[in-house]
A and B are shown apart, each in its own frame.
Chain A
Amino acid sequence: EAQVTQNPRYLITVTGKKLTVTCSQNMNHEYMSWYRQDPGLGLRQIYYSMNVEVTDKGDVPEGYKVSRKEKRNFPLILESPSPNQTSLYFCASSYTTGHYTFGSGTRLTVV
């Protein structure tokens, strides 16, 4: 089954404790992206990747890092999480001009 898999689904952590949210896709898509979704603000792009070793900032990149060492994986790293990064996170992938396939989401709470 074609899908984007994110882990974990839920995560509660403390301020400053580094964490990684994993994302993997099995569709051989070139393009992958991370979004955060907050009430009233919609989906905002954090980082995206056009292909292996090619990444760039989206609209809200501060406090996040990404890497794309393999085509299928695109992890999101929070080096020092803060409470304002509490949000619902989605990984998505697509062919470069196609629609997104989204993961099921990661609900992150930073206390």
Chain B
Amino acid sequence: EDQVTQSPEALRLQEGESSSLNCSYTVSGLRGLFWYRQDPGKGPEFLFTLYSAGEEKEKERLKATLTKKESFLHITAPKPEDSATYLCAVQPSTSGTYKYIFGTGTRLKVLA
């Protein structure tokens, strides 16, 4: 069964304290892996798409990497405004319906 698991569920960091969020996935083939940021009461906002193992994408303090079984979202020197829930989603290549499978997210809190 296709599955996406994110860890940790919640993470508290001091401002400037770098860390990584994990997204592990089990699919028979990967069309794409997506990272989103979600603020409370709002819709998820797209961050990155990764397509193949070894690929990396970067945006400001965020860097996403992909291996054959997992993806990491690295946050370097975070600021309080980086506080949000980060969602990972996978699009299996074996699905003819372009289905997305979402993880339950990591709630990040960055303290000033």
Contact = CB atoms under 8 A, between A and B. Distances in A.
A45 B36 CA distance: 16
Nearest to B103: A42
Contacts of B45: 102
A75 interface: no
Interface stretch (A63-71, A78-86, A93-101): A93-101
B42 A105 contact: yes
Interface string B66-98: 000000000000000000000101010000011
Contacts, number: 56
B24 to A, nearest CB: 15
Given A42-B105, A56-B97, A100 B44 contact: yes
Interface of B: 31-32, 34, 36, 41-46, 49, 87, 89, 91, 97-100, 102-105
